[in-house]
Amino acid sequence: MRPSFGSGAGLAGKGAGRFAEGGPLPPDSPGCFSHRRSLAMNPIQRPEMYIIGAQPVCSQLPGLSPGQRKLCQLYQEHMVFIGEGARSAIKECQYQFRQRRWNCSTVDNTSVFGRVMKIGSRETAFTYAVSAAGVVNAISRACREGELSSCGCSRTARPKDLPRDWLWGGCGDNVEYGYRFAKEFVDAKEREKNYVRGSEEQARMLMNLQNNEAGRRAVYKLADVACKCHGVSGSCSLKTCWLQLADFRKVGDLLKEKYDSAAAMRISRKGKLELVNNRFNMPTQEDLVYVDPSPDYCLRNETTGSLGTQGRLCNKTSEGMDGCELMCCGRGYDQFKSVQVERCHCKFHWCCYVKCKKCTEIVDQYVCK
């Protein structure tokens, strides 16, 4: 039971109109990845820098385009939540690819994912999408929690299929505002570029914009109605409902599905992305696209940024990508024993705590050669 999103809470302050006038998600709307990674790895620790006119916050963030820097100056209090969104995106990326040759490894505090992001592969497509989704998620929640002066609770219209006797008015996640702000801020860097029509650079720009949009729409699509019961002795004779974001793991799962079915694209002479294989359907704005084949993630390669799989743990009994045969790319693996300590023999004591013992177990593990 998903509502039709209406316009969000209006924005206060200079420059706010561009978001307040955004209205509902457009059905046919058309990287700033480095700044999001910078915020994720180097979150701003000095809240006093958020006072009006505190330019150092924006001037000290590497990777911001001129348009992003202006938005940063207007909405400085948003920056810490963009950082939170980027951190959750990195965490989700590493979870989704934990059993793959490319496991979304972070390299260092400046490049984070390293040179692999310079290749327009399907892995890069996922990172852009999940990062844009993380920004929408974090900003939407910050609005609901009253952390931002320019937005508040969601003002989305009451869903038509909500039962009449249920109240609509709880404080919902402001996904409308989150979507519009993320679109303006995240896409700014790409839209400021002016590449030759039909060039590889333009292809990468359009790819980034497409995947940014797919990430935002994933959060938007999965937001749904949540309700709380009221009544005597939990009778639930009355319900209050509001709009609530889905758990970010569900967003990651959806984007991982989009990654698996991502479309290979190329740039046309007219400066538009077109399918490499016309037998497939054109991707929608909810789909991921890529323009370059993925590098070989089996071996370490400084040029492509591949870290290789040497030293990675693998599952000897699995036939999937986490299995030693596939993970180690046929190079073989080494076996070693490790000691694992777990809680065991837990007992509940009245009242009210659980007491456990610690059990040690020696297990066999395998790492790629």
**Taking a C-beta distance cutoff of 8 angstroms, is the pair 322, 355 a contact?**
no
Q: Is residue 11 part of a domain?
A: no
pLDDT of residue 18: 52
260 and 364 inside one domain: no
Q: Which domain range does residue 345 map to?
A: 310-368
228 and 339 inside one domain: no
336 exposure class (CB count in 10 Å sphere: 0-12, 13-18, 19+) = exposed
345 and 212 inside one domain: no
pLDDT of residue 164: 84
Residues 6 or more apart from 89 whose CB is under 8 A from it? 36, 40, 127, 130, 131, 133, 134
pLDDT of residue 239: 86
276 and 342 inside one domain: no
**Taking a C-beta distance cutoff of 8 angstroms, is the pair 91, 180 a contact?**
no
* Cα distances (Å, whole numbers) of residue 224 to 3, 4, 18, 162: 7, 10, 25, 12
In angstroms, the CA 5 to CA 129 distance is 21
Give the dihedral sign, CA 7/8/13/14. negative
Q: Is residue 322 part of a domain?
A: yes
351 and 232 inside one domain: no
Q: Is residue 4 part of a domain?
A: no
What residue type is assigned to position 144 of the chain? R
244 and 316 inside one domain: no
Q: What is the pLDDT of residues 29-76, one digit of tens each?
A: 334 445 555 455 444 444 333 333 444 568 777 778 889 889 998 998
User: Which regions in the chain score pLDDT beneath 50?
Assistant: 3-17, 20-33, 38, 41-55, 109-110
Residues 6 or more apart from 196 whose CB is under 8 A from it? 202
Q: Is residue 5 part of a domain?
A: no
DSSP 262: P
Provide the token pair at 356: 């456990």
What average pLDDT does the structure give for the chain?
Answer: 84
pLDDT of residue 292: 96
- Specify the number of domains making up the chain: 2
